[in-house]
Amino acid sequence: RQYKIAVIPGDGIGKEVMPEGIRVLEAAAKAYGFTLELEWHDFACCEYYAEHGQMMPDDWKERIGAVDAIYFGAVGWPDTVPDHVSLWGSLIQFRREYDQYVNLRPVRLMPGVPCPLANRKPGDIDMMIVRENTEGEYSAIGGISFPGTAREVVMQETVMTRFGTDRILRYAFDLAQKRPKQHLTSATKSNGIAITMPWWDGRVEEMAASYPEVRTDKYHIDILAAQFVMNPDRFDTVVASNLFGDILSDLGPACTGTIGIAPCGNINPDRSVPSLFEPVHGSAPDIAGKGIANPVGQIWCGAMMLEHFGEQDAADAVVRAIEATLAQAPLRTRDLGGSANTEECGKAVAERVA
Ligand code: NAI
Ligand code: MG
């Protein structure tokens, strides 16, 4: 088995955590008998922008070519390039071009990470947030009339399609069915948003009929946010529209102590186009260049990439190695009260991938 991966470190700590992600992937490849073909790219970062006046070359898609996945660090350097320019010129291009319609974020309470909630131990919180990544509230349909006057009117439409909704629901139900709890929660707001959200609920109900083993419930987004904070252990797989999913997928990791270690997949389950795996955090200009960034988010999203390839055993081994590393204070980075630098933490995880 061989996998071809486009490696894009990006900006700031992206460049520092990426080598650790690769170190662990290579350890997993060696232990589990597959090979990796890595192609490093220097675009999709603000240094590239400084030189070329754009984030990526016009022929970026040809340069990436036929790969199994894109392994991404972080992009953004607000001192030189405005954030909307760096983000829209890179990550958003990938998501759109490859129709990565699933945004998947595992949320798990890990050892060694202080949980803001009382009486929770590792394992108590373990959920998967499935966010619709292409439509919904993030539409380009709308506009402003009479700008700057007392008659000013601004509108932006929510667009949900049956195709787009059903495919994200199918992905979420398939995932829920494979997990031991077989429990799926849908985020809604059908009491207030009285056209699109009741329709969303209807699609969930219809899809649920094909998954009799999966216990399904729904919560309005406001109380769901509150339940995430008070009782995150109640949830297993959570599916949500683009906006609701965006909020939940930051709230979830925050309830498990840090977004610094959280991973994310931008996935198109059709393996003929690449999916993109990245840590949730950004380029962290405040600590960049010091070699102290926590590499766990980068490493963990590497495990998600292996799972996407079907290398489940290797993926599980990486997650176990992360847990074993985080459990020991000297192996943790400073943001988690440890003393290791980026490389020491990365090496510790790599050594534990047996
Ligand atoms: P950030 O995630 O880069 O940093 C927020 C805070 O968390 C900082 O104090 C940082 O030091 C800390 N932090 C983040 N990751 C860490 C790690 N691995 N280890 C230890 N500490 C860590 O978010 P911020 O500061 O809002 O954004 C900085 C830049 O990153 C901006 O240009 C922004 O647009 C970009 N960004 C890019 C993302 C991406 O590539 N997907 C996601 C979020 C932000
Ligand atoms: Mg977000």
Ligand nearest to C-alpha 73:
1
Give the chain's domains with CATH numbers.
1-125+256-354 (3.40.718.10), 133-255 (3.40.50)
For residues 341 and 333, the answer to whether their CB atoms sit within 8 Å is: yes
Residues 6+ apart with CB under 8 A from 147: none
Instruction: Render pLDDT for 70-90 as a digit per residue (tens, 0 to 9).
Output: 999 999 999 999 999 999 999
Residues paired with residue 333 on neighbouring β-strands, in sequence order = 340
pTM (predicted TM-score): 0.95
Expressed in angstroms and rounded, the spacing between residue 250 Cα and the centre of ligand 2 is 6
Kindly report the backbone phi and psi dihedral angles of residue 171, in degrees, each rounded to the nearest multiple of 5, phi listed first. Answer: -60, -45
Stretch 187-207: mean pLDDT: 97
Q: Which atom of ligand 1 is nearest to the CA of 78?
A: 32
Task: Find, among 183, 309, 175, 291, the residue nearest to 236 by Cα.
Answer: 183
d(CA 82, CA 66) in angstroms, rounded, equals 30
Ligand number nearest CA of 87 is: 1
pLDDT band at 353 (very low <50, low <70, confident <90, very high): very high
Nearest atom (ligand 1) to Cα of 281: 2
- Report how far residue 124's alpha carbon sits from residue 63's, in angstroms, rounded to the nearest whole number: 43
- Ligand 1 pocket at CB < 6 A: 13, 74-78, 83, 87, 91, 260, 278, 281-287, 293-294, 297, 335
Angle (CA) 21 25 27, round 5°:
120
Cα 30 to ligand 2 centre (Å): 34
Task: For residue 252, report the distance from its CA to the centre of ligand 1, in Å.
Answer: 17
DSSP per-residue codes, 295-333: -HHHHHHHHHHHHHHT-HHHHHHHHHHHHHHHTSGGGSB
Residue 149 has pLDDT above 90, yes or no: yes
Question: What pLDDT, in 10s, does the model give residues 37-54?
Answer: 999 999 999 999 999 999
Please state the atom number of ligand 1 nearest to the C-alpha of residue 76: 32
Q: Residue of the nearest CA to atom 42 in ligand 1?
A: 282
* pLDDT score for 257: 82
Report the alpha-carbon distance of residue 279 to residue 264 in Å, rounded: 6
| Ranges assigned E (strand) in the chain | 2-10, 35-40, 69-74, 102-108, 126-132, 142-145, 153-156, 183-188, 215-220, 237-240, 263-267, 275-279
What percent of the chain is predicted at pLDDT more than 90? 92
Residue with CA nearest ligand 1 atom 16: 260
State the pLDDT at residue 354.
Answer: 80
Question: In this structure, which residue's CA is closest to atom 40 in ligand 1?
Answer: 74
pLDDT value of position 259:
80
State yes or no: pLDDT of 190 exceeds 90. yes
C-alpha–C-alpha distance, residues 293 and 285, integer Å = 10
| Residue 114 DSSP SS3 | coil
pLDDT, tens digit (0-9, with 9 covering 90-100), for 92-125? 899 999 999 999 999 999 999 988 888 888 888 9
Ligand positioned closest to the Cα atom of 253? 2
Distance 283 CA to ligand 1 centre (A): 5
Distance 282 CA to ligand 1 centre (A): 3
CA of 351 to the centre of ligand 2 (A): 32
- Predicted confidence at residue 44, as pLDDT, reads 97
Pocket test residue of 280, 281, 298 for ligand 1, highest count of atoms within 8 A of CB: 281
In this predicted structure, the answer to whether residue 191 has a pLDDT above a threshold of 90 is: yes
Report CA(247)–ligand 2 centroid distance (Å): 6
Query: For residues 253 and 267, what is the distance between their CA atoms, to the nearest angstrom?
Result: 19
Positive or negative: CA dihedral 113, 116, 121, 127: negative
